[in-house]
Amino acid sequence: MALALCALVAPACAEKDEPSPASQRTVVQIDPQAPPPFQLAVQACAGLHNRKAGGSVYLQTDAHDEAWLTELSLAPGATVSAADFLTACVAAFPTCVRYEYKAQQALLPNILTVAAALGAVPLDSGLGVTCGSVAFDATQVLKDKDTPYLATKYVFDNYVAQTTGLAMLNPGYDQHPSDPAHPAMTAEMGPALVDFVFSQRLFVVFLVNGCSDGNPEKELLSSIVNAGHWPTPLGVYGYNNSWNIAGGDLYEAQTRCLASRNMGAIASETGNLSFFSTRRAPITAPNEVTQNALEPIAYDPTKTYAAFVVGDGDNVQYMMNARHDWFRQRLADCPTPDAACPPLTWTISPHLTRLAPDLLDWYYRQSHQTGKDYFTLPPSGHLYAYPSSLAEQEQGRFVAATEDDARILGVAGTVHWDWNGTWHDAEDHFLPKYAHAEGAIRGVFPVNVPYPLATFPWWPTERFFEVLTGTNGGKVVLFRPREWRGVNDDTNAFFLSPAKMAEELGGYPKGTVTWVYMTSDGGLNLENSFAAVAKILPAHVQLVSADTATKLALASGQ
């Protein structure tokens, strides 16, 4: 039996836009195998409720959702089924958008945009759920606008003014098609980020050929991005996984998609962001979260220093699940600051300050427990972007935003991804923008895209970093890239065993200051890489945090 609305989601009865007390927090349990139209409706409802009363609805779909309730002491006032929640939701928000999931799957980004803009529940005709009134019937309005191009253009012309930002969500296209320009619809649309779309009223698109020269979809996407509705460089939520070439998504960073070169990604295909972003005020000032004090180390030319950096922290989904598990392992290995643990640096999304400040605070608090864990900005600072490819007028704003992020997070470094062939521009033009006396960024840790290609082939082999000097004497250390992705192929520098990695580091000239960027896409995890190599390093190799590596590089006089 469906429960009464106020018993399910009490804040909806209050008709007020403010954070909800814990007693009015509702946890909705939803089966991840439930039909996609049902999941989309439930996600939309969560977003609408959290838009109305911040932090009022939390969706529990998997073990990580349950873990965060415990980690953050978020006891619910009520726990309900998704079916009961949806019934109550259509009573609380009686207008709906009607559509047909299977017939209109390619148009789902457009349908969700309209529903979010109108504050209406998206209901597939096959769900059998009735609503008080139909605010928009996509089966009729989009009947003659039945392609992503036509539907996106219509929604842009009529609803963009009611939106606050841009998101890209794949409605179910094959991510590895033989012809990237014409992928088949082979999957269901995932529910991730849909709640946030509704709480923030985002404009959702997925134009497969939106970055393809000469294609009308690119012209349309360019007109949307450059219409002046949203500030640039524009952070695009979700993920653009169109055009997968040789195992990589060609336009995932967004920067090189349009001629305007004014976009970057906020990788955020995850759930409950409507809850976390509205539950409490964002973190906006320095010292709200604090780094551990840097190690008291003076440069010694008889030693080799190496900072290990855990990658992929720009992806909010990673911070919600995989990196939570890695940090838990780290806490088990280093239960107190007195434990004999080497320092480790984690990339962490600066967007957590507003998307999930509770999570950001949790990571910082756990780092204080070990006393040996540190943070740095992920690629490439403020956005996942290729900054040297940004239009010139965007680069200054990007640098300023990255410096603001660094001050709030209390960090002095950033991982920096750039596209192969642009590194001369990065070294000579973009990165010196950080080298000013008042700058917050002092260390730049680069990674090439595509990663197997050499980044600074003009550097001599013995150069592990370069100090860039700005016009007013500010200095920034630009390190040589070194990535570690797996541990099972000693013939490939990116997949060395811990023994071979230890041998490599030990063989560097004494006095070297360097770093290693770790990603998990090749099977690497914390235990089979960092924890293993830390135990077998030669005595003269000392592990340090990323910010300490920067200080030591500057102190070395090289």
Report pLDDT digits (tens) over 492-545: 999 999 999 999 999 999 999 999 999 999 999 999 999 999 999 999 999 999
pLDDT digits (tens, 9 = 90+) for 148-181: 999 999 999 999 999 999 999 999 999 999 999 9
Q: Are 535 and 387 contained in the same domain?
A: yes
Q: Are 388 and 438 contained in the same domain?
A: yes
Q: What are the residue ranges of helices labelled H in 164-302?
A: 194-200, 216-225, 273-279
Question: Which two tokens mark 317?
Answer: 């989904």
Q: So what's the pLDDT on residue 247? A: 74
Structural domains of the chain, count: 2
Residue-range definition of the domain harbouring residue 535: 304-456+463-556
pLDDT digits (tens, 9 = 90+) for 465-478: 999 998 888 999 99
DSSP state for residue 3 in the 8-state scheme: P
Q: Are 236 and 333 contained in the same domain?
A: no
Residue 3 has pLDDT above 50, yes or no: no
pLDDT digits (tens, 9 = 90+) for 258-277: 999 999 999 999 999 999 99
pLDDT digits (tens, 9 = 90+) for 109-133: 999 999 999 999 999 999 999 999 9
Flag whether 538 is in a domain: yes
DSSP state for residue 21 in the 8-state scheme: P
We report the CATH number of the domain holding residue 498 as: 3.20.20.490
Helix, strand, or coil (residue 195):
helix
Residue 453 has pLDDT above 70, yes or no: yes
Q: Answer with the one of 276, 294, 314 that is the final residue of a domain.
A: 276
Question: Which two tokens mark 429?
Answer: 């033009």
Flag whether 333 is in a domain: yes
Q: Residue 207 and residue 29: Cα distance in Å, rounded? A: 32
Q: Are 247 and 191 contained in the same domain?
A: yes
Across the chain, how many H-helices and E-strands are there?
20, 22
- The C-alpha torsion from 159 through 164 and 165 to 171, rounded to 10°, is -50
| Half-sphere exposure for 246 (CA within 13 Å, toward CB) | 5
Flag whether 297 is in a domain: no
Q: Residue 53 and residue 57: Cα distance in Å, rounded? A: 9
Residues 259, 289 contacting (CB under 8 angstroms)? no
Q: Sheet holding 95-99: strands in order across?
A: 121-124, 95-99, 133-137
Q: Are 136 and 239 contained in the same domain?
A: yes
436 Cα distance to chain centroid:
28
Flag whether 533 is in a domain: yes
| pLDDT band with cut points at 50, 70 and 90 for residue 9 | very low
Q: Are 426 and 386 contained in the same domain?
A: yes
Flag whether 542 is in a domain: yes
Q: Residue 28 and residue 50: Cα distance in Å, rounded? A: 13
Q: Ramachandran region of residue 259, left (φ > 0), alpha (ψ -120 to 50) or beta? A: alpha
Beta bridge partners, 477, equal: 443, 467
Token pair 């002092």: residue: 442
| pLDDT band with cut points at 50, 70 and 90 for residue 201 | very high
For the chain, the straight-line distance linking the first and the last C-alpha, in angstroms and rounded, comes to: 73
Flag whether 281 is in a domain: no
pTM assigned to the model: 0.95
Residues 469, 427 contacting (CB under 8 angstroms)? no
Q: Residue 189 and residue 391: Cα distance in Å, rounded? A: 33
Mean pLDDT of the region 190-214: 98
Flag whether 291 is in a domain: no
Residues 256, 386 contacting (CB under 8 angstroms)? yes
Return mean pLDDT, the chain: 94
Q: Residue 213 and residue 165: Cα distance in Å, rounded? A: 24
Any residues with CB less than 8 A from the CB of 16 and at least 6 apart, and which?
52, 53
Residue 186 has pLDDT above 90, yes or no: yes
Mean pLDDT of the region 294-318: 97
Residues 239, 269 contacting (CB under 8 angstroms)? yes
Q: So what's the pLDDT on residue 245? A: 84
Q: So what's the pLDDT on residue 18? A: 56
pLDDT digits (tens, 9 = 90+) for 14-37: 333 456 777 789 999 999 999 999
Q: Residue 348 and residue 326: Cα distance in Å, rounded? A: 13
Q: Residue 120 and residue 242: Cα distance in Å, rounded? A: 29
Residue 1 has pLDDT above 70, yes or no: no
Residue percentage of the chain with pLDDT more than 70: 96
Q: What's the CA angle centered on 355, arms 352 and 357, to 5 degrees?
A: 55
Q: So what's the pLDDT on residue 545? A: 98
Q: So what's the pLDDT on residue 19? A: 67
Q: So what's the pLDDT on residue 7? A: 35
Question: Which two tokens mark 415?
Answer: 């991982």
Flag whether 246 is in a domain: yes
Q: Are 359 and 246 contained in the same domain?
A: no
Q: Are 229 and 333 contained in the same domain?
A: no
Mean pLDDT of the region 86-112: 98
Mean pLDDT of the region 132-143: 98
Q: Are 170 and 231 contained in the same domain?
A: yes
Q: Are 257 and 343 contained in the same domain?
A: no
Q: Are 333 and 239 contained in the same domain?
A: no
Q: Residue 307 and residue 292: Cα distance in Å, rounded? A: 15
Residue 297 has pLDDT above 60, yes or no: yes
What is the DSSP pairing of strand 244-245 with strand 248-249? Answer: antiparallel
Residue 8 has pLDDT above 70, yes or no: no
Q: Are 93 and 130 contained in the same domain?
A: yes
Q: So what's the pLDDT on residue 12? A: 33
Mean pLDDT of the region 74-100: 97
Residues 376, 411 contacting (CB under 8 angstroms)? yes
Q: So what's the pLDDT on residue 340? A: 87
Residue 13 has pLDDT above 50, yes or no: no
Token pair 């609503």: residue: 131
Q: So what's the pLDDT on residue 558? A: 75
Residues 473, 440 contacting (CB under 8 angstroms)? no
